[in-house]
Amino acid sequence: MGAVWCLVSAACFGAMAIFGKLAYDAGVTPQALLLVRFTLAAVLLGLVLVLRPGLRRMAPEPHRAAPAGRVKAGRGRVLATAIALGAVGYAAQASLFFSALQVMDASLLSLIFYSYPVLVTVVAVLLGRDQLTHGRSAALVAASGGMLLVLLGAGDVSFHLLGALMAFGTAITYTVYILVADTVVHRLPPVVLSTLVMTGAAGTLGVRALLTGGVDLDFGMSGWFWLACIAVVSTVVAMLTFFAGLQRIGPSNAAILSTFEPVVTTALAALTLGESLTLMQLVGGVLVLSSVVVLQIRPTRTQHPTRPVSDRPDRAAAETPCPVRDGAAEPTRVAP
């Protein structure tokens, strides 16, 4: 289910570019889009927590071990980290992304931004949080190569140095965001964590709006409709499913599966905006989807013969649940 949640999240995030373009056509400015997006998302998530108090508690997972390589932080520090994820990480990432979008083509921006799965995987391996297995390496190559084909198949793009630097800054910021989120995602329920992140981002953008003279909210109902789509589908649902997936499969796999997002964006653009898919883009989409399959392939466990239980009851091999990365318990032979 971890992979499914990550794919749902990627699809919801992928729709945001379409919603954003339609919102711009309705007269919404980037500053208004960001402020309304995060504020509305924080309010909606807060209402969910009020109406569903059970979502404030972590679901019991008796077979899950504490993630390796992490120091258990206090409750206050976990809450502060969650708010900082939004106030610093998400607000900065979104601001850089939409600033870059103003000066460069969306396809090239996405191409540079989606270098973050490589950054996440490499840094997670260096920090000892993940292992660069053969399957993960193959999935990373397939996903990255497929994403390149999808975006390069869009045609000629213009290059803007400042925009490219901001785009790469977006990738770096999001890499840090994912790795920091991985340290608290096991300590807070997904809805609580998402609410804190959205609240932090809305707070930062609200302060910025006050310092810069406010934002223009004088647009029609169509603009508010597309903003609602961005807040509900591409923020609330996308965040909840991403944290649910991250909790189960870890930062590297979550980042690799997130490369499904530009495939969704390209497909939706073809369906709603009349853009056609090229053969190169179709091949790239297949490669990205193949990374999902590769990540789900488990290595075959070698079964060793054991003595009959009746032969040596005191030395018989026992079946003991062993927590694994995605939270599922696998039977492991305990040496006699």
310 inside domain: no
Whether 328 has a pLDDT exceeding 50, the answer reads no
CA 222 to the chain's CA centroid: 28
Contact 198, 45 (CB under 8 A): yes
CB burial of residue 60 (10 Å; 0-12, 13-18, 19+): exposed
Global confidence as pTM: 0.68
10 inside domain: yes
Q: What is the pLDDT of residue 320?
A: 33
183 inside domain: yes
316 inside domain: no
Q: What is the pLDDT of residue 207?
A: 93
Residue 330 binned pLDDT confidence (cut-offs 50, 70, 90): very low
Q: What is the mean pLDDT of residues 312-333?
A: 34
Q: What is the pLDDT of residue 40?
A: 93
Q: What is the pLDDT of residue 200?
A: 94
Q: Which residue has the higher pLDDT, 319 or 244?
A: 244
CB burial of residue 211 (10 Å; 0-12, 13-18, 19+): exposed
303 inside domain: no
Q: Residue 12 has which token pair?
A: 């919801």
Q: What is the mean pLDDT of residues 271-286?
A: 72
Q: What is the pLDDT of residue 21?
A: 80
Whether 283 has a pLDDT exceeding 60, the answer reads yes
245 inside domain: yes
CB atoms within 10 A of CB 323: 17
Nearest one of 330, 324, 279 to 130, comparing CA atoms: 324
- The structural domain count of the chain equals 1
64 inside domain: no
Residues 6+ apart with CB under 8 A from 293: none
Q: Write out the residue range of the structural domain in which residue 282 sits.
A: 2-58+74-295
225 inside domain: yes
